[in-house]
Amino acid sequence: MKKIVGIAILLVMTLVAAGCFFDKEESLGELPYLPYAAMPDTEQNKSVGVDVYWDATCSMQGYTTIQQQNTYQRLPDNLEDIGISMGEIHFFRFGEEIQPLEGREHRQFMTPEYYTELITPIHKVVEQADGKHLSVVVSDLFESDADWSNVAKQIKSKYFENHQSVAVIGVKNPFKGDIFDVGYSAGGKFFYDSGTDAAKYRPFYMLVMGPTDDVRSFVAKCKERIGTGANVKYLLFSEELVEKVPDLNTIDYSNSENIFMDSKLQVPDKRMVEFGVNDKSATVKLETAINYKPFADVCQIDTNSLQPVIKVSKLENGEWVEETDVSAIRTSLEEKTDSDNTFVYNMEFQPNEVLNADSVTLLQTFIVPGRDGLHLPAWVQEWNMDNQASFDAGQFDGSKTINLVSLMSSLKDSSTTIKYPSIANIFMVIKN
């Protein structure tokens, strides 16, 4: 009896020892970056190049003539200060041509005599702007539909398609001077004097374009120097609709079934979380509770229109290849009534229907506003003037901007149709 026990013990010990030398799985190396999502910006405290393009047309003169409560006059110094705090800054004046300015020449924008240009080709500025820099266009955005559609198209391809953002900062400022290209009489110019009545101040805008973090940083610094309130408005068009987009590192998924966190793969982005499946014959259920903090300066999100967009990709030859058929994955998204800004998102699938044998599968879920799910803030409509008024001096209101709703709608629609502006991103990678 004891001999049998002894032999059995030795046998088990041998098997256990042999188990320690099982062949290890071959390493796949680092996975490729996430498709459909911006690469994370890992450089901390990097120096940002800020390029300010200033509209030097005659219509802008009027912002410099009234001294009281004049934000525009302080703008050259404020922008220089912001630019230096972010890295380095360069100023340009634009009209017929785009001319770089040297030294402190930009301070001449405080004087009416510096505004001598006749046309405002913002599309040329956007075309020339360096996509790696933060570009700021100071202008009254007095553009026709045709001119703006060209600008919007360029912004879409240069910024939104590259996961970058655009902010519009509107500032109502005292104005006394001529506004050109209004109506057909008097040489197409309109004299407007707001005086010191804040309700009559005329808006000018800063169009801020570039990497999302830089745009947000610029907006934050502007708020510190220029402030907020009835006469200063901010609007951000970005893929990131919330303060910090929740992902699987921050989202609660404690009610999930049949999946566990694993670490066999080298993931290039910490938003991409690796999971394993316990039982390949049982249903995988991911139940998440998503709580998000809306970003103050983005378009209002219609929570009834929120929907999940799922992308499934397989790793083939070192690249992600999209699977077009995602019908095997069942999802639901419901708003929690007992908690503000909280949604419950469920995803279920059978492993054998979605995961191929010996494969790596990436499942990306974006919780996005659906069609017409973003609404422009009320101030855009309040500051808007219809296009018709530009042809009728009798209807022209100097305290408003022609086609502002159209311009902002164009930016909004561009930002939502190209990529996936989302309130939450759920990126799972599974090695089968």
Distance CA 195, CA 79 (A): 25
Q: Considering beta carbons, is residue 198 or 277 the nearer one to another protein?
A: 277
Q: How far is the CB of 252 from another protein (least distance, A)?
A: 9
Query: For the CA atoms of the chain, what is the radius of gyration?
Result: 28
Distance CA 256, CA 344 (A): 12
Distance CA 329, CA 346 (A): 10
SS3 of 286, please?
A: strand
Q: Considering beta carbons, is residue 9 or 378 the nearer one to another protein?
A: 9
Residue-wise DSSP of 1-70: -HHHHHHHHHHHHHHHHHHTTPPPPPP--BPPPPTTSPPP---TT--EEEEEEEE-BGGGGGGGS--TT-
Q: Is 283 in the site for another protein (CB under 8 A)?
A: no
Do the beta carbons of residue 257 and residue 412 sit within 8 Å? no
Q: How far is the CB of 17 from another protein (least distance, A)?
A: 8
Q: How far is the CB of 33 from another protein (least distance, A)?
A: 21
Neighbour tally for 392: CB within 10 Å: 13
Q: Considering beta carbons, is residue 5 or 357 the nearer one to another protein?
A: 5
Q: Considering beta carbons, is residue 25 or 102 the nearer one to another protein?
A: 25
Q: Considering beta carbons, is residue 254 or 281 the nearer one to another protein?
A: 254
Report 217-276 residues binding another protein (CB under 8 A).
Answer: 249, 253-263, 276
Q: How far is the CB of 283 from another protein (least distance, A)?
A: 13
Q: Considering beta carbons, is residue 6 or 35 the nearer one to another protein?
A: 6
Do the beta carbons of residue 292 and residue 424 sit within 8 Å? yes
Kindly state the tokens that stand for 326: 């995602």
Q: Considering beta carbons, is residue 3 or 47 the nearer one to another protein?
A: 3
Q: Considering beta carbons, is residue 279 or 382 the nearer one to another protein?
A: 279
Report 5-34 residues binding another protein (CB under 8 A).
Answer: 5-6, 9, 12-13, 16, 19-20
Q: Going residue by residue from 85 to 124, which x/- string records binding to another protein, judged by CB under 8 A?
A: ----------------------------------------
Q: How far is the CB of 262 from another protein (least distance, A)?
A: 6
Position among 111, 116, 162, 278 found at the interface with another protein (CB under 8 A): 278
DSSP state of 244: S
Cβ neighbours of residue 9 closer than 8 Å, sequence gap 6 or more:
none
Size of the site for another protein (CB under 8 A): 24
Q: How far is the CB of 109 from another protein (least distance, A)?
A: 52
E-strand stretches of 251-388: 259-261, 272-277, 284-291, 300-301, 306-316, 319-323, 330-335, 342-349, 360-369, 374-375, 384-385
Residues near another protein (CB under 8 A) are 1-2, 5-6, 9, 12-13, 16, 19-20, 249, 253-263, 276, 278
